[in-house]
Amino acid sequence: MDRIRETIERRSSLSEPIQVGPDRWKSYLQFEHTVPYNEEIVTGGVNSERYQAYRRKMLDEIERGDYELPLEEDDQECTYMIENENGIVGAADACLEDDDAEWLHLMSVKVNPTVRGRGVAQKLVRCIEQWGRKRGCEYIYTDINQKNPLSLCSFFQQGYLTGAFLGGIFKMYKNLERGDGEVELKTGETVEIPLSDTEALTSLLDSGYVGVDIKNIYQEGEMISLSDRQDLNPKHWTLILTKKS
């Protein structure tokens, strides 16, 4: 029965991205605080006591009205969501940088596991990018956890590069006009480093390299496709880096 239900979910129709207004903030928050990031699955799982306690706490606060909800739309921030007949299945939010209006900060992208692999995250990110362009932003950046190789893969496919690595977090960026990381790369200067090798990644990204792609390298010793969406183990992935000119 669960397998049939999951199949129906995956085949259900998805809305186009919708910008969240004041009338939808409560529904958005219920989704935002109960759908996990991939790294939350890696570090404990959605069935862990800690995660379930967090879910109950957030839902109780939202239901009691303890959450301070915006009364109107904010021109400095934006939130987009995608729905199906069961409710919100994906959401992303971003804000303008206070000290540098050229930069747009993509704060989070969340997708319900039942619809992953259907381009939900990419549609949301495109809407966020377009929102930034209309406000004169030249660049967009986001933070991706080292333990979240699938998100890294998704952003590389959308033209992002990694420019820094701090505390287990990759800083990924993109030029909104060019549609890429806007950096001249040397040919023949490519290296591959295990995603779990924090020291090597930090050293190379601090010395003029940028991350340009990621690949999964282990499955019984054989190379496997990036389409394998089950492998969240950083030890099974390598980051491909190229030297800047």
The 10 Å Cβ neighbour count of residue 231 is 15
| Cα 59 versus chain centre, distance | 23
pLDDT, residue 228, reads 46
pLDDT, residue 220, reads 45
d(CA 90, CA 12): 14
Q: Are 27 and 87 in contact (CB under 8 A)?
A: yes
Crossing angle for the helix pair 149-157 and 120-134, nearest 10 degrees? 50
Q: Are 147 and 39 in contact (CB under 8 A)?
A: yes
| Strand partners for 18 | 81
Q: Are 214 and 153 in contact (CB under 8 A)?
A: yes
The 10 Å Cβ neighbour count of residue 197 is 15
pLDDT, residue 40, reads 59
Reduced to 3 states (helix: H, G, I; strand: E, B; else coil), residue 216 is strand
pLDDT, residue 148, reads 86
d(CA 177, CA 134): 11
pLDDT, residue 133, reads 93
Q: Are 214 and 239 in contact (CB under 8 A)?
A: yes
**Whether this model's pTM surpasses 0.85:** no
Burial of 223 (0-12, 13-18, 19+ CB in 10 A): exposed
Per-residue pLDDT tens listing for the chain (245 residues)? 454 445 444 456 888 888 888 778 888 888 887 776 655 555 566 677 777 887 888 888 888 877 776 666 678 889 999 998 888 989 999 999 876 678 999 999 988 878 877 889 999 999 999 999 999 999 999 999 898 888 898 899 999 999 899 989 999 999 998 876 666 676 668 899 999 999 999 999 999 899 999 988 765 445 444 444 567 778 889 999 998 87
d(CA 35, CA 45): 11
d(CA 124, CA 135): 17
pLDDT, residue 226, reads 45
DSSP 161: E
Length of the chain: 245
